[in-house]
Amino acid sequence: MQWIKDFLLKLDANPLPVSGDARITELTEAWGSIGLAYAMYSKSSWVSLTAALRSAQQGDGTDLMDLADQYADRTTSGSYTGNIMEVIYAVNCLDRPDTADLAVVEANAEKFSASAPLWGRMLAWGSVPCGVWPVKATGAPKKVTAAGSGPIVVVGTTRDPATIYEWSVRLRQELANAVLISFDGDGHTAYTRSNSCVDRPIDAYYVNGTVPQDGLTC
């Protein structure tokens, strides 16, 4: 982990060359971070990440830039086939009010880094667009119990890099009628990821309406 932190800091000062891209010639800290983040979503990407980091060690940022392009739905011509990089702000900026004061952002970056040494600064500075987003957040999220609903199945992965497991636990506690399936594993999401312990009870719920056991751990 320290090597990765040092690697990203080095990228900030000395970006690595990228080949085969019509518009980007250097892998910056920002693109490198996105490439790392993308590979965390699925264990199937870990082999590619290992190869990309080895290439980066040898001074070539092309493979890690390729991973970042996959996350951003970006082609090497510089065009985008999707709008994930825009729509994420349209969603996230409504979660809570944010600031356009860069001094506050810098203070947040230091505070975030104390808890998350690798990603803290990126997360703090990544919220800057929310400070100037034209549609303002109206306040803190409100509690949702979904009272009167049918059974709701919540699925959480213990080492999900995008939606942390603790949120799944809290959601299960907040909902009036819910069960929780926990997957002890890596990657983003659990259903249809080649784990029959997770898939079978969810399939049975979809097909037959059989509610999975609350607290099932796979």
179 three-state secondary structure: strand
Closest Cα partner for 158 from 190, 201, 113, 125?
A: 190
Give pLDDT tens digits for 57-68: 999 999 999 999
Token couple for 115: 């808890």
| pLDDT value, residue 71 | 96
| pLDDT value, residue 193 | 86
Buried b (16+ CB within 10 A) or exposed e, 38-48: bbbbeeebeeb
DSSP-assigned beta bridge partners for residue 80: 74
| pLDDT value, residue 53 | 97
> Taking the model in full, what pTM does it have?
0.87
In this prediction, the residues of the chain whose per-residue pLDDT falls under 50 are none
What string of H, E and C letters represents the secondary structure of 119-177? CHHHHHHCCHHHHCCCCCCCCCCCCCCCCCCCCEEEEEEEECCCCCHHHHHHHHHHCCC
| pLDDT value, residue 140 | 76
Residues in the chain: 218
| pLDDT value, residue 141 | 75
